[in-house]
Structure 1
């Protein structure tokens, strides 16, 4: 963003493309951190979330008013769906993506919304063990969801955040019309999405987005750290976003492709207009696009000082070939049986040797057989 190449690098040709975004275009930074229902295991109808806020160092009155208005609306709409918000008034800001933006410009007002105040609730956040079992997630497949489920929490938070953002950007000041969809209906969609990310990629939402009758049934790998390695979940996420927020256009499957003179909109052929539909497909027009998350140190900065540490330059090993040697560990009973048989055989061998040695004069006689010359 500092160099004007986000969301994409401007081209020299005369094509329609989205305008570049800069740091000064950010009016407010809203980040969602750890969001789970693990802190509400008592079954209460109210879930408490926490605001970690950063006020700009310039003490801009407009920015402070916008931050206070945002928090006020979040509390207002959150109370409608059983959400409470506590403010964490500490000078230290927790680890978050906002830290990278503040390093470039400390005048950006921002807030981190999480399920914890000072200590993590999810001990395995962003690790290989951060799975559905740890989040107490169970796929309901259209059944009624409990009030303290993670599906309900995400749906209620989405409703609250969407209503608040609409109110902030609505220049007319009318915040209640049009109203965003009710969270009860969205909770079923959240249940389906979590099923795709936490259980299996062969789910109705991903099949509709990818326009395929079936996908790999294994659990999705959410690690996307290596540039040059295409992770299926990244593409499926983009297609799902395009499926959920799209504009249907009247194009055939053969003509449903991107225009060379337009880099703003993409045209994608989807499998169905809804998750449960059996239609042959339709063409959508979307602004969804993919941007490489590459450190600025690796491009467009001549004579960059690699020792400065300004931009991340970490690398990681990639194994093109991998081999595995497996050593099977027997059961406890099998180990005991093997050990017992070994002790018995060892004891018998000692007894046989002792018996043969003590009675060697009987078994073998005292006469030495000599050969005649």
Structure 2
């Protein structure tokens, strides 16, 4: 029978109402977890690490672990498996995770991290990476004495937790409201004692973050390259981004470096990593290296142009991806040795930087972790014992050390040398020496042997651990200008770096170098912006107005995870590039708009960046405008993607980093109440019985419809 036309509008009206009713029922059952940082799957040439959920998600009964006894109860006594433990940070240790994993009672793990200012880190320390970071990809991979950190265990607290493969999801909860709701739900429904288990209904959690990549990078890339349909699917992407480099004065191919050893390289790494994806504000001590180097660049950038022109070429390099087997430095060395750094020479481009090779480097100074030098008794100058068997290299290494020693005289910093037989710590310099043992270099750090940082490469390497003692009651503008203990300490380090580089580049005496001083306010502003809040006046001044608007949505600092390559550099690299341009460059007063402030096609030496500038308040109408300006500086990006991905042969060579990140399509977590298995079985059984009875009833009604629904005959 056809549906009457008058009914169709009612059906169309009913559909959205029914859908709304369905959504309201859904919202009554589920509560979404609004903010989480997942553990994602990464792969290299041999294996996979990280986490993934089932396709339909993982469900578990919520169990709040505030004390070690809560973890022990779950492992030993809990019966309503699977569970989804919510752990406070100090309980999220290698031993507990492995114990929970081995119990077979969990379907995932949540870690409470809402209040970042008080994360309760384990007092004994916590480092989820290896004891020997980047093992196998430095200069000692095959050395009989130094391979695999035989000589020195650099990260003795390293558990390797981040490098394990988990078949269940783990998430870091970064919203305190979510954490409070979960704890309240647990306390209302999931309370237990040591003698009995919880009674149903129970509060449960579902996490869905299925990772598409699997096995290893080689397999994942091969699967991605299979064109078996019109819409090829990519399962993983190579890790990588952009290195940032700049020179005190422009390099020009009109005056090539050739084989002259008169280039000084000062480097630091930008990136860090934690088990949980893109968590900002971690790696505080790791950040002190590049922050100190930026401040040193500013101090040297203030020299007049005449003095700069009289100095040797000085290059500042900020590497990306070093955490993952030296991605940035290995690519730079690869390009240098092939005559392609910064870029292949092109006769059609009049202004182009001269080629740079490892053979041009006279001195190499790398700034590593330097934030805890006061606790460790001073700074330490690490050098390589293998390359120093050559007298020319040894003499230049000694020259760097003498310059550092002279620079520390008036700063109250002691400088020490580790034993001559000790190998270099994990550092970008190792990739240069792996290719060319003629590069004389020193790695400056706050540790003689094992790291002073007890939270290396973890989410607990926080500003408070390095003396960022900003009072909680200060307003944002007051906190921005506040001088912290770390600010005072790091200003001295930046001054030492700047004076060292000045002596090496100018051959001036230590007394003449004493005029170079790093700015205390610059250091404090950099620390605040990189480790506390990216939405700060310094970043707002040097970025474009569009980038500044994007920063306003960030609740804290910028993440420093290298991520995967995009068309443009990621946020942290762009900020570092703009800051280096701001410190080394010159203002162009005649270029007053973004359209005018563009890098000319003929100029491949400089970058032109239109910066937002400082706010200017008009007292007449109380409006705010910005004193924008155009900066030009010899600062550029270079590719920071491993050479392994340039050819299939190099991908299989084990010479370069092969790290990739799995893609994923869905990421969500929900809270709901779950009934017992018996109750669920009864509900299902009743439903099946009702369906069967309904089918029988419908069949009976259908077969007897001529009797049941026969209309009475009309009477005439």
Counterparts of 2:342 and 2:375, CA distance in 1: 38
* 1:198, distance to aligned residue in structure 2 (A): 1.0
Please identify, of 201-210 and 242-251, the stretch whose mean Cα deviation from structure 2 is larger: 242-251
* 1:181, distance to aligned residue in structure 2 (A): 4.1
Please identify, of 21-30 and 60-69, the stretch whose mean Cα deviation from structure 2 is larger: 60-69
Bigger radius of gyration among the two = 1
Q: Does the 8 Å contact 2:542/2:611 carry over to 1?
A: yes
Structure 1 position 259 matched with structure 2 position 596: no
Q: Determine the structure 1 residue equivalent to 2:307.
A: none
Counterparts of 1:12 and 1:317, CA distance in 2: 41
Structure 1 position 326 matched with structure 2 position 670: yes
Counterparts of 1:78 and 1:110, CA distance in 2: 18
Counterparts of 1:82 and 1:39, CA distance in 2: 10
Structure 1 position 138 matched with structure 2 position 469: yes
Q: Determine the structure 2 residue equivalent to 1:218.
A: 555
Structure 2 residue corresponding to 1:156, chosen from 469, 480, 492: 492
Q: Determine the structure 1 residue equivalent to 2:536.
A: 203
Structure 1 residue corresponding to 2:649, chosen from 285, 289, 304: 304
Counterparts of 1:261 and 1:58, CA distance in 2: 42
Unaligned runs of 5+ in 1: 42-46, 330-373
Counterparts of 2:632 and 2:536, CA distance in 1: 23
Counterparts of 2:488 and 2:616, CA distance in 1: 20
Counterparts of 2:587 and 2:512, CA distance in 1: 24
Unaligned runs of 5+ in 2: 1-335, 471-478, 618-623, 674-716
Q: Does the 8 Å contact 2:373/2:379 carry over to 1?
A: no
Assess, with a 3 A threshold, how the Cα gap between structure 1 residues 275 and 194 changes in structure 2: closer, same or farther: farther
Structure 2 residue corresponding to 1:92, chosen from 413, 419, 423: 423
Coordinate RMSD, CA, aligned:
2.9
Q: Determine the structure 1 residue equivalent to 2:357.
A: 22
Counterparts of 2:424 and 2:513, CA distance in 1: 35
Structure 1 position 191 matched with structure 2 position 515: no
Matches within 5 A, 1:1-373: 1-11=336-346, 13-37=348-372, 39-40=374-375, 47-55=377-385, 57=387, 59-89=389-419, 90-139=421-470, 140-145=479-484, 149-171=485-507, 173-177=508-512, 179-183=514-518, 186-212=519-545, 214=549, 215-216=551-552, 217-219=554-556, 220-228=558-566, 231-249=570-588, 250-253=590-593, 254-272=595-613, 280-299=627-646, 304-319=649-664, 321-327=665-671
Counterparts of 1:291 and 1:205, CA distance in 2: 24
Q: Does the 8 Å contact 2:407/2:510 carry over to 1?
A: no
TM, length-normalised to structure 2: 0.41
Q: List per-residue Cα deviations over 1:215-242 (Å, max 9, x = no partner).
A: 3332211111322275222212211221
Q: Determine the structure 1 residue equivalent to 2:58.
A: none
Larger RCO, structure (CA 8 Å, separation 6 or more): 2
Q: Secondary structure at the match of 1:263?
A: coil
* 1:116, distance to aligned residue in structure 2 (A): 1.0
* 1:125, distance to aligned residue in structure 2 (A): 2.5
Q: Secondary structure at the match of 1:292?
A: strand
Q: Secondary structure at the match of 1:188?
A: helix
Counterparts of 2:388 and 2:402, CA distance in 1: 22
Q: Secondary structure at the match of 2:638?
A: coil
Counterparts of 2:427 and 2:398, CA distance in 1: 21
Q: List per-residue Cα deviations over 1:123-151 (Å, max 9, x = no partner).
A: 22233332212323134533454xxx221
Structure with more of its chain in strand, by fraction: 2
Q: Does the 8 Å contact 1:167/1:174 carry over to 2?
A: yes
Q: Secondary structure at the match of 1:29?
A: strand
Q: Does the 8 Å contact 2:363/2:439 carry over to 1?
A: yes
Counterparts of 1:231 and 1:314, CA distance in 2: 18
Q: Does the 8 Å contact 1:36/1:115 carry over to 2?
A: yes
Assess, with a 3 A threshold, how the Cα gap between structure 1 residues 245 and 103 changes in structure 2: closer, same or farther: same
Aligned residues: 315
TM, length-normalised to structure 1: 0.75
Counterparts of 1:273 and 1:325, CA distance in 2: 41
